A and B are shown apart, each in its own frame.
Chain A
Amino acid sequence: MNIHNSDNNINLRHMRDNLVHAGYGYIIFGIWSVIKLLMMSTMQKEYSGLLSDSIGSSTGDYFLAIAITVAAYLIIIIFTLGMHLWIGYGAVRYGRGTGHRKYYVVLSVIGIIMTLVLLPLYFWNPSEGTPIIPDDTTIASILVDITLVFVFLDMIISTVRIDRLMKSTDPDGSSETRD
């Protein structure tokens, strides 16, 4: 007894696996974004200094500022993680065949556009109109953003290919036939 592993079915499994990995990859990016935010705000002098300078001299001001800062960070963290989980799991579920909604494709397109539009800000200060010479940390960030674009592209391309392959295969993508 043999299985007929048609090219369509093999490619479909491959694309589904790709999409699942891309989805998880995007979730990991979300976790990294949160870690990066916390590291920048606590360990990078410019940001922590900006925060302490903005706090007034009274004790009440100090605690209020801390409370607002923590609340703001929590909101940003929850939003960032939630966004990545929503998009990432959407892709994972579609890849596994347990979900049918493709909202993450639209969000991926928006993600690519936003990342590409904001990318020049690494090199250009629009408020002063002067160029920025990127340091090694900035170069690392640029590479991370470019990788993120590839993850988005992988999600979109895999989804499109899954849909095409599904049309030419069984509805559930499991048209293996035994000879």
Chain B
Amino acid sequence: MGIYLPIAEISVNVFVLLAMGAAVGFLSGMFGVGGGFLITPLLIFYNIPPAIAVATGANQVIASSFSGVLSHMKRGTLDFKLGGVLLAGGIVGSTGGIYVFAFLRRLGQLDLFISLLYVVLLGTVGGLMLVESVNALRATRSGAAPALKKSGQHNWIHRLPLKMRFRASKLFVSVIPVLGLGAGIGFLSSIMGVGGGFIMVPALIYLLKVPTNVVIGTSLFQIIFTSAYTTLVHATTNQTVDVVLAFLLMAGGVAGAQYGAKAGQRLRGEQLRALLALLVLAVAIRLAIDLFVTPPNLYSLSGADLN
């Protein structure tokens, strides 16, 4: 069944989009990530213009994150104060990102920049995760006990000034890295259409040493607001949010996510991480190939603003 997307201005198949949303939702439920980093490249592969894929991806992320935050709120695994500080940084980063986005679009380099960012980030994160999870799998197979985290150890981040206490996370840490992390994620959110969970979660755990149980809820909490802000700014400055497209993805996504979460409980953590790493790497490789393969048309047209 075909449907015409009002903003993307192309006809697409409803079932392909629902299935895409469901598949990504399933994976995001399984791995506890928002799925924006999969949705946006998939939309680009499906010939949705990158600028629209990014803005709509940000919109779609709100739905899955909101759904997730509701369960974390119920369980009390959410640090509102930490989320709030991350959010303050996120708004700044996102605003900057929107300007960079509009600027690159004018230059005609937006598509390239989005692809490059995806290749670099997904490649790095996927590579690191794969190495880590394969090591963990090997360690369990050889019977060695997994290395305990040295929780007492402090790194340079904990020596920065302007410390603040985050009770729910049992954390006393400088606001500088928290704001910086929020800003970085906000920037990525507006340029890549991702929530940023796949960077936020490891950063909170390994850099700020936030207890794992509050990490996902807090990360999702701040992602809702950052991506809502990103959606709003994209809608007003670039008019690139396609609600019809977003709704189809969300509808598939929220359904898929619940089943994914159930499936995820049956797999072991290392296996799950190894699978996710392979998936992330596959997307990165696919995007990288497109950068190097000779395009069928070297010339492209776009509207210009001469005033």
Tell me, yes or no, whether A binds B: no
Which residues of chain A have a CB within 8 Å of any CB of chain B? none
